[in-house]
Amino acid sequence: MADHDHTEPPSDTALRVKALESLLLEKGLVEADTLDAIIQLYEHNVGPQNGAKVVARAWSDPDYKARLLADATPAIAELGYGGVQGEDMVVVENTSDVHNLLVCTLCSCYPWPVLGLPPVWYKAAPYRARAVSEPRAVLKEFGVEIREGVEVRVWDSTAELRYMVLPERPAGTEGLGEDELAALVTRDSMIGVALVEST
């Protein structure tokens, strides 16, 4: 037998979290209102709709696009977005010659202020393992085929720089205003696993 008895944690994860929460509240390490505010912020306020507005602005305003590609953090801040897990942003542009794909092979680094919290698939083993070794096969699984003449660039977020893809503006959107353009931009297109469609 072990020389000290260990109580096993509750097998029900929900109970285990509740226990941790109660302990942290009891010790005064977190406050209940703070927890609610954090949930509100990241479940409802911060999300890919932010990044979509950045993309729409870049498509509509060439000077803005130039600023965004040169130094993304202040350009994104012009629209009021920024903060934790996005303090040092880099935006990379898809063109007819280059298709960009983002991954964090080592964990789950992701640009929260513009895309919100990452989806399960982005953080899981298959994407993290395969996005670097067979990006074109991964893209095909997402329904995107990149022709041979185009360079696929995979950005592996190893440091504290956070990346976002500026997708190509689809044809047939010339007359659209920023709001209409933003409505077309999906989260997946800003990770690089989707293209933006004109409808």
Partner 1 sequence: MNGIHDMGGMHGMGPINPEIDEPVFHADWERRMFALWTAAFAAGMYNDNEFRFAIESRSAEEYLSESYYQHWLVCMEKVLIDKGQFTRADLEAVWANAPGTGASGGGAGSGQALPADQVIPVFMGGASARIDADVAPKFKAGDAVVARNINPAGHTRLPRYLRGKGGTIEKDHGVFGFPDSMAHGEGETPQHVYCVRFDAREVWGESAPARDSFYVDMWDDYLDPA
CB 112 within 8 A of CB 42: yes
Considering the complex, what minimum distance in angstroms separates the CB of residue 150 from partner 1?
7
Q: What is the dihedral of CA 106, 112, 116, 117, to 10 degrees?
A: 30
CB of 174 to partner 1, least distance (A): 30
Q: Confirm whether 109 is a catalytic residue.
A: yes
Pick the catalytic residue: 22, 96, 109, 133?
109
133 catalytically annotated: no
Is 157 designated active site?
no
Write down the catalytic residue from 107, 133, 189, 198: 107
From 11, 60, 96, 108, the catalytic residue = 108
Cβ proximity to partner 1, 43 vs 179, nearer residue: 43
Q: How far is CA 49 from CA 66, 117, 138, in A?
A: 21, 12, 24
Residue 22 annotated to the active site: no
Q: Closer to partner 1 by CB, 24 or 66: give it.
A: 24
Nearer to partner 1, 22 or 198 (CB): 22
Tokens coding 48: 């890919």
Taking alpha carbons only, the member of 72, 110, 112 closest to residue 92 is 72
User: From the CB of 177, what's the least distance to partner 1, in Å?
Assistant: 26
Find the shortest distance in angstroms from Cβ 132 to partner 1.
Answer: 4
Q: Which is nearer to partner 1, 61 or 141 (CB)?
A: 141
Cα–Cα distance for residue pair 72/113, rounded to 1 Å: 12
For residues 175 and 148, give the distance between their C-alpha atoms in angstroms, rounded to a whole number. 32
Helical spans, DSSP H, in 86-133: 112-115, 120-123, 125-133
* Active-site amino acid positions: 104, 107-109
